[in-house]
Amino acid sequence: MSSSVLTEEAIPASTVQHGAPGTRGSAGTRAVRYALLVAFVLLVLLPLYVLLVTSFKPSADISADTAWSLPHRLSVEGWGHAWQTLSPPLLRSLILAVSVAVISSVLGAMNGFVFARWTFPGAQVVFTLFLFGMFIPYQAVMIPLQAMFLQMQDTAPFVDGIVKLIIAHCIYGIPICSLIFRNYYATAVPREILEAAKVDGAGMLRVLRSVVLPISAPAFVVAMIWQFTSAWNDFLFALFLTTRNNGPVTYALNELAGGQNPDYSSIMAGVLIASLPTLLVYILLGRYFIGGLMSGSVK
């Protein structure tokens, strides 16, 4: 995908001229189209309905027969319990996701600029090797990674829990962030400006600071959202590298949901609480979120 998705609306509007004959179909096909679209909306929102309805039921009112009905009495008991269980890991997830978003995007900006505009011999090969790191199943590094972190912990005891996850996500996020910034700079920074700056005797850092950085905001937003979301939503690293006492919210949510006698109102409230931050990011900054999705497809 080209980087224009970062600066413009991620998905451009239709160019079909409204009202042009034959372009938007007859009233009949339009009605069918809307009916289908609405039906799919209902299907997609089905799990959300279950979450909301169940989370506001008092646990005593939960029974198989009324599973799909609206609550008779509203109760926030489930929300209270879920909040109590999840708030410490929520805070840890927040620290994790924010740190990862900031560090990864700085690394990504440095790499992306070089790969797009200040290449060195072999840069294309290095870039391709980076990209492969984006696709690997992390299972293939997990066993030695665990061992490596245990070793680190011997000399630096603070490398535990969330710190491990910050390190892991920052490093395994290097490929995608480098890609986002490289694609952005490849169109947003004209070569001519760079050449002019070089002729004026400006060094790389100077160019980076005074020419490139000031126009980098869109790519930063996309990369930060991407990394925030993937660090927040990650479970695999959390499961292998953290424990119930120092893990992020995905870990805690799985524990909350995993009991023998499931308390569905707290479980469903917990799902909503744990998803709220990424959903908010998506709702508020949706088009940048889509921009990140697009750049994930390499070209």
Partner 1 sequence: MRKAKTWLPGFLLVLPSMILVGLFVYWLIAKNVFTSLQRSTNFVTDKVVNPGGYHNYTQLLGSGDYQHALMNLLVLTVVFMVGTMVMGLLWAVLLEKGVGAEGVFRSVYLFPMAVSFIAAGVVWRWLLSPAQGDGAIGLNQLFIKLHLDGLQSSWWSSPSRFSMAAMAIPAIWQLSGYVMALFLAGFRGISEDQREAARIDGASEWKIYRHVLFPQLSPIALSALIILGHMSMKMFDLIYVIAGPNSYKAAVPTTMMWTQLFAQSNPQAAAVNATILLIIVAVVVVPYLVTTSRSERSR
Which residues, numbered 41-100, are part of the site for partner 1 (CB under 8 A)? 41, 44-47, 50-51, 64-65, 67-68
CB nearer partner 1, residue 59 or residue 254? 254
| CB of 259 vs partner 1, minimal distance in Å | 12
Nearest CB to partner 1, comparing residues 174 and 188: 174
Residues 228-267 that bind partner 1 (CB under 8 A): 229, 232-236, 239, 250, 253-254, 257, 264, 267
Q: Which stretch binds partner 1 (CB under 8 A): 70-78, 83-91, 103-111, 154-162?
A: 103-111
User: Closest separation between CB of residue 80 and partner 1, Å?
Assistant: 18
> From CA 36, how far away is CA 42, in angstroms rounded?
10
Could you tell me the smallest distance in angstroms from the CB atom of residue 197 to partner 1? 13
Binding status of residue 211 toward partner 1 by CB under 8 A:
no
| Least Cβ distance, residue 217 to partner 1 (angstroms) | 20
User: CB under 8 A: which stretch of 77-85, 152-160, 170-178, 209-217 binds partner 1?
Assistant: 170-178
| Residue 96 or 274 with smaller CB distance to partner 1 | 274
Q: Which of 3, 85, 99, 111 binds partner 1 (CB under 8 A)?
A: 111
Size of the site for partner 1 (CB under 8 A): 105
**Could you please report the per-residue DSSP string of the chain?**
--THHHHS-SSPPP-SPTT-TTTS--HHHHHHHHHHHHHHHHHHHHHHHHHHHHHTS-GGG--GGGTTSPPSS---HHHHHHHHHHHHHHHHHHHHHHHHHHHHHHHHHHHHHHHHHS--TTHHHHHHHHHHHHHS-THHHHHHHHHHHHHHHHH-TT-STHHHHHHHHHHHTHHHHHHHHHHHHHHHS-HHHHHHHHHTT--HHHHIIIIIGGG-HHHHHHHHHHHHHHHHH--HHHHHH--TTT--HHHHHHHHHTSSS--HHHHHHHHHHHHHHHHHHHHHSHHHHHHHHHHTT--
Q: Which of 31, 74, 143, 156 forms a contact with partner 1 (CB under 8 A)?
A: 143
Which residue in the set 121, 157, 201, 214 belongs to the binding site for partner 1 (CB under 8 A)?
A: 121
